[in-house]
Amino acid sequence: MSAPDQPSPSTPSGSLLPGQRVLLGISAGIAAYKSAFLARLLVQAGCEVQVVMTEGAQAFITPLTLQALTGRAVRTSLLDPTAELGMGHIELARWADRILIAPATADLMARLAQGQADDLLTTLCLASDAEKLMAPAMNQAMWRHPATQRNAEQLRQDGWTLLGPAAGDQACGDVGPGRMLEPDDIAALMLDTGTITAADLFASERHIVITAGPTREPLDPVRYLSNHSSGKMGFALAEAARASGAQVTLITGPVDRPTPAGVTRIDVETAEQMLEVAQDIATDCDIFIGCAAVADYRAATTAEHKIKKVDGEQELTLKLVKNPDIIATISAMSDGPMVVGFAAETRDVEAYARSKLERKNLDMIVANDVSQQQLGFGSDNNAAILLWRDGNDIERQQEPTQAKSQLAHAIIARALHCLAQNQNTSSTAP
């Protein structure tokens, strides 16, 4: 069905209103079956829904199904002789108030990020000034691949809003980020229902600050105190937080790691420098995650010149003083952010983590056993216990051994859900 001759003015961004015109794009992913439910929900909300399918999408769900649900003939071809008698693809681009692509595959994201217009759906996206949203859906490894993350960042810069993806079981048998948000969650975001669902994982207006890596506490011009932290976990958290759509600031100690796409990076050396930066930024963030392995002590005085060995003396005495407690300082701020801490322990891991959660008044803590050589510092894998406050109770979630990048998505998802719960509780309090 061709678009109306005279398109209506674009509706301002925000929640959907009855009568809004939604162009629902469906690309070639197994999640395409969910798009039928999504189309139905939007129609029930009073929207006019025009479905556009890629060629591959038709292998997963038939156009006839979508036509029956929307009452409009599905558009599938850029070179449809009937529709193009009046430049139908341009009229359709003008017709839409919003363009929503669900599912959006890695291939489609790559083509849109490069500005390609090689089928009807990508052509419409380039030709339309409508608000544009997409719900990514793909294998977890494909979603985490640097190329996909670069494309996602480019799409955000081009004005696209990314809804999700969520994490969980996938059709291929993998577990991790890449699942398309459920239709009711996407509809809730678009309709602005105010309910807390899996859509709370969408964090486009959140600012997350993360500390990472070790600190170096100088003894003299050539020596320092430090630890074995590689920064891998903190950088994985920054990448996962950015993938959720959040604005991310990464405060990192000295590590040789590339900055994740779209993340603002601030490099520091010492614990005092990290605290100064953290205090400045924490006043303007929603979640503060203290993942850095901050040195507990520093030299009382730093020698001006290299400390020399003294002949005949077998010992060297250093006077150390305690470093500031960054995570406790941030959690003590009035009207401060939600604070997530880490507890890297070698024994009694959960007991120490619970004590730290209470003692430092944290909202959530991630506990891991760094005594295991295949986990923790320097490793690509990690396992953790997530503990968080739920009213007067402390809830618990066990995360088995997995890639740090995968664990990072689970941590970010839990933190965002806790934030949404806390805000919902605050808004409904008498």
Per the annotation, binding residues are: 290-292, 296, 306, 324-327, 342, 356, 360
Contacts of 138 (CB under 8 A, 6+ apart): 29, 105, 106, 148, 165, 178
| 263-293: b (≥16 Cβ within 10 Å) or e | bebbebbbbebbbebbeebbeebbbbbbbbb
C-alpha gyration radius of the chain: 25
Name the residues annotated as catalytic: 172
- Owner of token pair 């239709």: 183
